[in-house]
Amino acid sequence: MTSLRDRRLPGLPPTGSWQDLKDHMREAGDVCFADVQHDGEGVVEFLRREDMEYALRCLDRTEFRSHQGETAYIRVYEERGATSYCRSRSRSRGRKPMDCCSH
């Protein structure tokens, strides 16, 4: 299991939920956990390292949209030294893209 922290300074939109974050990051592959902290910082865990690497390459500086329509450009970086296990609220059904798409 790999862990990925997703952050935009000063943070995700106030109306951003863990479901919104999971939906956004699903473009990279199978998300097994997503959470949004009160300070607007999000944490995402992927089932496969390749999915996390895709997110690092292709979803950094992308536009995140909450379910209420608020947007923010997010930063994606790997949380070093994090031990991770799948704490799934719901299973992802994301598909695995081969290359980055242009943003």
Q: Give me the pLDDT at residue 100, please.
A: 65
Q: Give me the pLDDT at residue 2, please.
A: 56
Give a yes or no: residue 34 inside a domain. Answer: yes
Q: Give me the pLDDT at residue 101, please.
A: 58
Give a yes or no: residue 92 inside a domain. Answer: no
Give a yes or no: residue 64 inside a domain. Answer: yes
Global pTM reads 0.75
Give a yes or no: residue 21 inside a domain. Answer: yes
Give a yes or no: residue 35 inside a domain. Answer: yes
Q: How many domains does the chain have?
A: 1
Q: Give me the pLDDT at residue 26, please.
A: 95
Residue range 51-95, pLDDT digits in tens: 989 998 999 999 999 999 999 998 888 876 655 555 545 444 444
CATH at residue 38? 3.30.70.330
Q: Give me the pLDDT at residue 43, please.
A: 87
Q: Where are the alpha helices (DSSP H) in the chain?
A: 18-25, 49-58
Q: Alpha-carbon distance 56 to 77, whole Å?
A: 6
- Please calculate the CA angle 48-53-59 and round it to the nearest 5 degrees: 115
Give a yes or no: residue 86 inside a domain. Answer: no
Averaged pLDDT, 92-99: 50
Q: Is the pLDDT of residue 8 over 60?
A: no
